[in-house]
Amino acid sequence: MSKTKSSSSKRWLHEHNSDVYVKRAHQEGYRARSVYKLQEIQAIHKILKPGMVVVDLGAAPGGWSEFVAKTIGKSGKVFAVDILSMQPIAGVEFIHGDFTDPKIVNALSQRIGGAEVDAVLSDMAPNLSGCSVTDQARSLELLEAALVFAKKFLKLKGIFLCKAFQGAELIKFTNELRKNFSTVKIIKPPASRSRSKEIFLLAQN
């Protein structure tokens, strides 16, 4: 490992171990600190309601899926997808595979059957290469795939929430969202690390 890489890994480990959200996730039995980003968005925007049908893209290790399943209750249904495996969660149907693979999208649509989808959530993020141009392009590819899916499966007043990384290309994607949804909000929840370029786009109706 190079000197720079090892010092950035050390910094990440130090930050992770002293992170209040990591500690809270352990105490509250959640699988990942990322759950608090969705909780904070939910606390303000109230996007999830009991009985909803929700698709969770980039779901592993399952923090969002656990929270969504709890919030929508037994009358709701979560369909989760990830390229990594995920331990089962009650009320969550998991599809293991790459969401950019049409076979996986097909498998997901078959599981959904004819159900109307109330919300498509995407916390998908590529493995970061460290090269911002490459990372931005990969992230956009995931965003575009999620949007194509949302446009096809969301019900008329549906919700699309996705993670994105700030950069020049994101403006085009945000404009595309504005063409398809009546409101688009850019959100930086407190649980999202301030030095991260990560933001969330919430598109409704």
Active site residues: 163
Characterize 17-43 residue by residue with b for buried, 16 or more Cβ atoms within 10 angstroms of its Cβ, and e for exposed. eeeebeeebeeeebbbbbbbbbbbbbe
User: Residue 182 CB, nearest distance to ligand SAM (Å)?
Assistant: 26
| Whole-angstrom distance, CA of residue 173 vs CA of residue 29 | 35
Q: Going residue by residue from 102 to 141, which x/- string records binding to ligand SAM, judged by CB under 6 A?
A: ---------------------xxxx---------------
Residue 31 in the binding site for ligand SAM (CB under 6 A): yes
- Long-range CB contacts (within 8 A, 24+) of 137-140: 137/169, 139/164, 139/165, 140/169, 140/170, 140/173
Q: Which residues between 157 and 186 bind ligand SAM (CB under 6 A)?
A: none
Structure tokens at 115: 């159900």
**Smaller CB separation from ligand SAM, 31 or 77:** 31
| Whole-angstrom distance, CA of residue 78 vs CA of residue 72 | 9
Residue 191 in the binding site for ligand SAM (CB under 6 A): no
Stretch that binds ligand SAM, among 10-18, 57-65, 106-114, 176-184 (CB under 6 A): 57-65
Interacting residue ranges for ligand SAM, rule: CB under 6 A? 31-32, 34-35, 58-64, 81-84, 98-100, 123-126, 142
